[in-house]
Structure 1
Amino acid sequence: MGDATPDQLIEGLARVCSRAGLSPPTGLTRLTGGATMESWRFADGDGTFVLRRAPSLAFMEGRPYGHDVEAAVIEAARARGVTAPEVVAVLGPEDAIGSGFVMRALPGTPNPKEILEFEEPVALLKQAARDLARIHSIRPGDLPDAVPVMDYRAAIADLRQQFEEAGGDRPIIALGLKWMEDNCPDPCEPVLIHGDYRMGNLLAEAPGRLTGVLDWELAHFGDPHEDLAFGCMAVWRFHRYDRPALGLGSPEDYFAAYEAEAGVSVDRDRFRYWLIHRTVWWAMGCLKCAKVWRDGSDRMLERVVISRRTSEQELDLLMLLEEDAPDEERAREMFPVHKIPQRSLGEASDRELLIAVNELIEAIKNEVSGHNRFQLAVARNALGMTIRHFETGAFAGDWVLAQDILTGKRSLDTPEMVATLRHRALSKLSADVPKYPALAYARKKWTGEK
């Protein structure tokens, strides 16, 4: 519960509610999910509210702005007709429960698994495009000065610095960074960017109605194509890899609805640039989760597990970048992926110990509920990753190759580079997240295996 005990959280939230003219909170419940911030649902008479809160005050250090500015961004979006939640109070130091704000709960589900099965996905896609265009109608003068304007080159340099601090040894990420440096577009007129506009941060009701746009902590000013591309990344399509736009439909339908509302045309080249940029950005975001766990600012188990999802973005990134490789390299046969046999006739091996713990967690998971049950699922996921690494011997690190790519000594034109990276990407992701939908697609594309 971060910097507050359960009793302190309830007491502090009561002070917030009193200041906002609400009754004392009842039924405070931690919601699952949320890669960075905590979410708590509670009732106030006949109304339902959500507390959005940082896991610790240390977690907010180094961010460009606090929750008070994020709340102002949300309210500005609501004023433009965006289906954003109403913020009713911002936490202050006197509340003694950290940093965050309280917003009125909206109807609908954020669960991508449910939303992507709705009967009218294209209708929902068009509404999402409409809201995104309305967000992009907001300009720098409309919000507090604390909301930054992205400098594209500075953003690339920052990602490269993060890469070096994380070891600088992932060749596919190095390819992405080098490509971005070589293909960075000229700046355009900055508009408000949501920064995390994708399935998982949208609320919806069946058969296909958008009811809310959530999680505004990454809002900044920049190129509208950044938001358009982010929602089309493979990772945010979830199990609907076949529907590239938000997992709901085609890019053509998405762009057409956006263009109709915004009155501008989508530039396909800029869209591709930001698709690659944000894939690198999310790869580094995954790696950074291990850093915040190590330094103690957030010791949630979910952080270290997310760090291993870097391999998802490496596979997606390679499929995007290899379009620029020579035909002969893309046609080159890939090395076979082998599994390392695991046998032990004496004492239990490390792998077997992990399997035993995994089986125990599976046996007791029905005895717990709420967020603790979610944490048990994350724990099983972590153990599964480790067990599969024992079985495959997969690895992704190669500092020499990564540095050669960054300096231009080697590239996608280098003989066998594509085949080598395909092999490593498949091996690593097969161990980390074997159910990732893009993995089956890549395996079939590169090896013919169904």
Structure 2
Amino acid sequence: MGSLFSVSALDKGTLDQVHSQLTDKGVDPGTLKECSLIDNDRGGTFYLKYERLETVMRVWDSHCSWWSFEFERQGEREIMAIRLAQQTGVECPEVLISGQVELAGKSRHYMMSRFVSGAREDEWEDKEPPMRFAKVAVSILEKLKSNSNLTPQALVAQGFMKEGERIDQFPLPYLPDHSSVLSYLKSKAKEIGEPSVVDVVKKVEMLFADVPSLPCGPCLVHSDLHPGNLLLDNSFKLLSVVDWEEAAISDIRIDVAQACLACLDRELIWDLFEQETGMNLGDKKPWLALVALMRFMISVQIDWYEKMGKEVPDSNLSGWESLCGDAEEILIELNILPNPEAA
């Protein structure tokens, strides 16, 4: 399925609206000189170069994720996650403006940030061994952990939630521990009507029988921490962590496990994080299984959509299918799913 968006989707009215919003924020970008489509994954990402400002404009479309296919608040999620991440010192895009624009016949949320001239970390993978990614990932994880115990009361105290606002109204999913994540995934499996998937969730749940709690509480987790979401300069210095739309408030071990699966050496990041923080994260197997299960749920939902004769709302379905295949392999490796070759 192709993207809904192209450069032509940004008509003069939309560009004038964005320019006006920049001006209202006290930013004078000058005349627009260049406009191009950078990426059409999960909507559209555009490069807009003005006389005095280079920007990236991201417009969201519905997309697959482990929590839902039809979540309509991707823009709010990403902006809130960036605000929380910046408070911890994590390098993030500088958000200039956000709002609603009319694209492809629908009002859609957008965010415009200052352009960062860097290369995604996966473009440099052949230059150094996995240790470089591990060190960068652990430095990010340490910063995210620094703002832990993100209870609803703490979110109110820090100005991220309004007094009296319910946590289910907050843009980010609030899943403070593994049991809440598993309960959510189990409810989704039941909603879809797949008993076999419920059994898979229960098998992962059994791995958590003796998992120790951490001295720190829930914190912001990126939920998609891999080399392709890190922008580096020519000396491999981290410039920005991007793509925060999968973010949630949960246990830091979810992000550590996500990063482990993105590294060629799965042991490296887990062990390095423990060394750098002095924390005992416990056995990594339950968390690797949980992260793989989160990815596997995307595959389950894709199958359900196709079974129901619905169009899967994602412009990058092939990329997701590859990721889901990796998740199944991990669950087979961890003896959660049966090995079809052994049958």
The answer (yes or no) to whether the contact 2:62–2:70 under 8 Å persists in 1 is no
Shift in Å, 1:255: 1.9
1:38-437 to structure 2, matched below 5 A, reads: 38-55=44-61, 63=71, 67-68=75-76, 70-92=78-100, 98-110=108-120, 112=122, 114-119=123-128, 122-139=131-148, 140=150, 141=154, 142=158, 144-145=160-161, 146=170, 147-151=172-176, 152-164=178-190, 168=194, 176-184=200-208, 185=211, 188=214, 189-233=217-261, 236-237=262-263, 241=264, 243-244=265-266, 250-251=268-269, 254-255=272-273, 259-260=275-276, 263-269=277-283, 271-289=284-302, 295-296=310-311, 298=313, 300=315, 302-303=316-317, 306-307=320-321, 309-321=323-335, 420-423=339-342
* RMSD after superposition: 3.7
Shift in Å, 1:174: 5.9
| Highest RCO, 1 vs 2 (Cα 8 Å, sep ≥ 6) | 2
How many residue pairs match? The answer is 309
Larger Rg: 1
1:6 counterpart = 2:10: yes
Gapped regions of structure 2 (runs ≥ 5): 162-169
Output the amino acid matched with 1:122. M
Give, in whole Å, the separation in 2 of the partners of 1:291 and 1:49.
38
Q: 1 or 2, which has the higher helix percentage?
A: 1
Output the amino acid matched with 2:141. L
Give, in whole Å, the separation in 1 of the partners of 2:235 and 2:40.
24
TM-score, normalised to structure 1's length? 0.58
Shift in Å, 1:321: 2.8
Give, in whole Å, the separation in 1 of the partners of 2:204 and 2:287.
9
- 2:246 partner SS: coil
Give, in whole Å, the separation in 1 of the partners of 2:70 and 2:260.
28
Identity of matched residues, %: 18
Output the amino acid matched with 1:158. Y
Shift in Å, 1:29: 1.7
Shift in Å, 1:84: 1.1
- 1:53 partner SS: strand
Q: Deviations over 1:245-280 (max 9, x none)?
A: 6xxxx2366325xx53xx4414132x3222110101
TM-score, normalised to structure 2's length? 0.74
Distance 1:304 1:126, change over 3 A: closer
Gapped regions of structure 1 (runs ≥ 5): 323-411, 413-417, 425-450
Output the amino acid matched with 1:13. V
- 2:39 partner SS: coil
- 1:212 partner SS: strand
The answer (yes or no) to whether the contact 1:176–1:317 under 8 Å persists in 2 is no
Output the amino acid matched with 1:47. L
Distance 1:174 1:94, change over 3 A: closer
Shift in Å, 1:244: 2.6
Output the amino acid matched with 1:83. E
Q: 1 or 2, which has the higher strand percentage?
A: 2
Distance 1:232 1:175, change over 3 A: farther
Output the amino acid matched with 2:93. P
The answer (yes or no) to whether the contact 1:149–1:222 under 8 Å persists in 2 is yes
Give, in whole Å, the separation in 2 of the partners of 1:128 and 1:115.
15
Output the amino acid matched with 2:97. A
The answer (yes or no) to whether the contact 1:287–1:308 under 8 Å persists in 2 is no
